[in-house]
Amino acid sequence: MGRLLLNLDYPMVLIGVDPGGTTGIAVYDVPSPDELPRLAGYYQWADSWTIAAQLMALKSKVQKQRPDAQVAFVVEQFDNRPGIVDPDFTPKYIIRDIDRDMANEQVFYQTPSQAKNLVKPAHRGTPDGLKRFGWYQVGMGHANDASRHVIVFLVEKLHHMPTILKGWPRRDN
């Protein structure tokens, strides 16, 4: 599971996926290494069976408007955490579908914990880490999780400087 970072170049569209009973999807348009990405769309869907198909349809829709951009997917992988009684295995089935139906796509998996510093407030009273970027959507918790994974990918894999400067947690804050 997980593929190498191959042939990914600007401009690109990153589609974040937070698979689960309700799957969150966040689409980011990343025009260049020098500009802040735009949250180009987001939604949540409470149906696991068509998520992989939806992602492919989404890619097709995006490419009609951005034919010059590469499209890649950033997906939260499933961790069976110790101590969780009766965990929801839906993400496993969604990831199975993604692996099967999107074998030729650029799909990057990230562990849930990689996005944790954009969830937990660094200090008591500080807001959700995602709010620093201006991409927090009220009532869209799963789509927000998908956004967090895109941000982590931008920062950790692409070293996207505008994103880092915009709101990536620093030691001095």
Partner 1 sequence: MNPRKLTKADLESVAGLPSRQAAEQLGVGKSTVNYWRQQQSLGVLDALQPEAGATQLEAVGEGVPTTAAEVTDFLNKRGISPVTHRINYSFGGWDSGDEVSHSFKATASPLPPAPAAVDWSEATERIRTFEFIPATKEFLTDVAVIQPTDYQIGKTDVNGGTLESTGRALQSIANFAEIVKDKRPRQIVVANTGDIIENFCNTSSQLSTNDMDLPNQVSHAFALELEILKQLAALADEVTYATVPSNHGQWRSGPKQNLGDSHADWGIAIARQVAGAISLSAIDNVTVQIPVQHMESMTIQAGTTRIGLVHGHQKAKPESMGDWWAGQDHGRMPTWDADILLVGHFHSMRLYQSGDGRWVFVGPSSDPGSSWYANLTGHTSVAGMLTFFTENGAWSDLAIV
Phi-psi region of 134 (alpha: psi -120 to 50; beta: other; left: phi over 0): left
> Comparing C-alpha atoms, which of 65, 59, 67, 16 is closest to residue 39?
16
Minimum gap (Å) between residue 33 Cβ and partner 1: 10
Q: Per CB under 8 A, which region of 64-72, 125-133, 136-144, 165-173 contacts partner 1?
A: 64-72
Please give the C-alpha separations between residue 135 and each of 11, 144, 145, in angstroms, as whole numbers.
20, 8, 11
Closer residue to partner 1 in complex, CB, 80/173: 80
Rounded Cα gap, residues 121 and 168, in angstroms: 12
Rounded Cα gap, residues 168 and 173, in angstroms: 10
Q: Which of 8, 22, 92, 93 binds partner 1 (CB under 8 A)?
A: 93
Decide: is 54 part of the binding site for partner 1 (CB under 8 A). yes
In degrees rounded to 5, what are phi and psi of residue 29? -95, 120
Rounded Cα gap, residues 67 and 57, in angstroms: 15
Q: Which of 62, 74, 143, 150 binds partner 1 (CB under 8 A)?
A: 62
Minimum gap (Å) between residue 160 Cβ and partner 1: 13
CB atoms near residue 133 (< 10 Å): 18
Q: Per CB under 8 A, which region of 6-14, 109-117, 122-130, 137-145 contacts partner 1?
A: 6-14
Q: Which of 2, 3, 32, 141 binds partner 1 (CB under 8 A)?
A: 32
Minimum gap (Å) between residue 16 Cβ and partner 1: 14
Q: Are 9 and 108 in contact (CB under 8 A)?
A: no
Decide: is 68 part of the binding site for partner 1 (CB under 8 A). yes
**Residues within the interface to partner 1 (CB under 8 A):** 9-11, 27, 29-32, 35, 37-38, 40-41, 43, 45, 47, 49-50, 52-54, 56-58, 61-62, 65-68, 82, 93, 97, 101
